Amino acid sequence: MKKILVVFGTRPEAIKMSPLVKKFEEYPDVFETRVCVTAQHREMLDQVLDFFEVEPHYDLDLMKPGQNLYGLTAAIILGLKDVLEDFNPDFVCVHGDTSTTMSTSIASFYNQSKVCHIEAGLRTNDKWSPFPEEINRQVTGRIADYHFAPTTTSRDNLLKEGIKDDTILVTGNTVIDALLESVKKIEENPSDIVVNLDKLIGDEEVILVTGHRRENHGAGFERICEALKEIAVSKPDHKIIYPVHLNPKVQEPVNRILSDVKNILLIDPLAYQDFIWLMNRSKLIITDSGGVQEEAPSLGKPVLVMRDTTERPEAVDAGTVVLVGTDKELIVSETLDLLNNQDRFNRMSELHNPYGDGKACERVAKFIMNV
């Protein structure tokens, strides 16, 4: 029996790790599986856990108002000490690039548990972009014993850094596993929010916007909002829907610049399943989210990425996303060109998703069975 501890703390991690938890649980004779959440995002995390029916065995409940990276990192390492000593796992599975991931990998190393890094090998090689995620994943990569890379590009990044080939497996991204499962559940049982949004939208074309990245705070968000305002004026027959992140540094410029624009709908952050429905209902998506870059191509949605760099170059190379940064003119021009140029829109929406086929979790579980 192999003892598996799965640790995550944010909504994106929960989305990508919940299908893996369920996959491990399909093999009770092979794995003893436990889940620990740090609750880096409390309310948004709990929504995802409820949707995927995952109940944590350990909940560190570390979210505090005004929490900074110093306090969060220290609290996660100290909080995991008792969990690791209680369960003493053989393998600890972490995901991606969060402070939870980096801190858990350090704590697991101290406990001499093997670290399994899901979504390994993404790189911009610019330690300030995205901050602190780029260094979080690089630190985790140095500690990890096994690396589950979503693409061959990610695998090649790890090989360049001296990671041994036999510790790397290309799996696809677990977010596609989550997405394909979720679309079915949503169609069978839409929430009240989905029903109400559907009535509100009617026959209008939808541009979905998400934005929260720390590196865009300040002047970047000012330019993003001004761009969205110009797009709304240019396309009065389209509805821009923006679930606004709870961070005050996002809320302030968004509400100040966009709240009075007639065809821009500012709404509260959506539960995962409702957001998936809205992605599927949208014509195109403007975002700074890494997860959306991976999910949207499976739904046939072109994506404009409001970042100057991306650790997901496969999507850029495949043509499923276009980098526009926070350049107002570029955001406006690329959006309007996609909406006005049907041939370009069709080409972009029909491209193959480079992030997998929905079987990543099975590949991870089978690999760990045999090590």
Per-residue pLDDT of 161-212, as tens digits, reads 999 999 999 999 999 999 988 988 888 888 999 999 999 999 999 999 998 8
pLDDT score of 45 more than 90: no
Instruction: Confirm whether 260 is domain-assigned.
Output: yes
Q: In Å, how far are 9, 226, 269, 362 from 206, measured between CA atoms?
A: 31, 18, 17, 35
| Mean pLDDT, rounded, of the chain | 94
Residues 336 and 361 both lie in one domain: no
**Closest C-alpha to 51, from 355, 365, 295, 270:** 270
Residues 125 and 39 both lie in one domain: yes
Of 17-26, 80-89, 129-138, 313-322, the one with minimum mean pLDDT is 313-322
Residues 155 and 89 both lie in one domain: yes
Task: Give Cα 209 distance to the centre of its chain.
Answer: 15
Catalytic residue among 34, 95, 117, 119: 119
* pLDDT, position 294: 86
Contact 117, 148 (CB under 8 A): yes
Mean pLDDT to the nearest integer, 110-135: 95
Catalytic residue among 42, 57, 245, 344: 245
Residues 335 and 363 both lie in one domain: no
End-to-end alpha carbon distance in the chain: 12
DSSP state of 26: T
The residue length of the chain stands at 371
Mean pLDDT to the nearest integer, 119-140: 94
Q: ω into residue 65 within 30 of 0, thus cis?
A: no
pLDDT band at 279 (very low <50, low <70, confident <90, very high): very high
Instruction: Confirm whether 103 is domain-assigned.
Output: yes
Mean pLDDT to the nearest integer, 142-171: 97
Catalytic residue among 42, 214, 217, 281: 214
Instruction: Confirm whether 41 is domain-assigned.
Output: yes
Residues 342 and 362 both lie in one domain: no
Residues 204 and 300 both lie in one domain: yes
The structural domain count of the chain equals 2
Residues 30 and 168 both lie in one domain: yes
204-263 pLDDT, tens per residue? 999 999 988 777 888 989 999 999 999 999 999 999 999 998 888 889 999 999 999 999
Residues 158 and 35 both lie in one domain: yes
Kindly report the CATH number assigned to the domain that includes residue 147.
Answer: 3.40.50.2000
Residues 23 and 124 both lie in one domain: yes
Residues 50 and 157 both lie in one domain: yes
SS3 content of the chain, % helix, strand, coil (to 5): 50, 15, 30
Mean pLDDT to the nearest integer, 33-61: 91
Instruction: Confirm whether 289 is domain-assigned.
Output: yes
* Catalytic site includes residue 61: no
* pLDDT, position 352: 82
pLDDT score of 91 more than 90: yes
Contact 223, 327 (CB under 8 A): yes
pLDDT band at 77 (very low <50, low <70, confident <90, very high): very high
Q: Widest CA span of the chain, in angstroms?
A: 61
Residues 293 and 159 both lie in one domain: no
* Catalytic site includes residue 245: yes
**CA-CA distance, 181 to 173, in Å (whole number)?**
14
Question: Going by C-beta distance under 8 Å and a sequence separation of 6 or more, which residues neighbour residue 318?
Answer: 297, 351, 352, 353, 354
Q: At what angle do helices 99-111 and 69-87 cross, to 10 degrees?
A: 40
* Catalytic site includes residue 217: no
pLDDT band at 291 (very low <50, low <70, confident <90, very high): confident
* pLDDT, position 366: 98
* Catalytic site includes residue 212: yes
* pLDDT, position 188: 86
pLDDT score of 41 more than 80: no
* pLDDT, position 354: 87
Which residue range is the domain that position 153 belongs to?
A: 2-173+357-369
Question: Going by C-beta distance under 8 Å and a sequence separation of 6 or more, which residues neighbour residue 258?
Answer: 225, 228, 229, 242, 264, 266
Instruction: Confirm whether 199 is domain-assigned.
Output: yes
Residues 53 and 76 both lie in one domain: yes
Instruction: Confirm whether 180 is domain-assigned.
Output: no
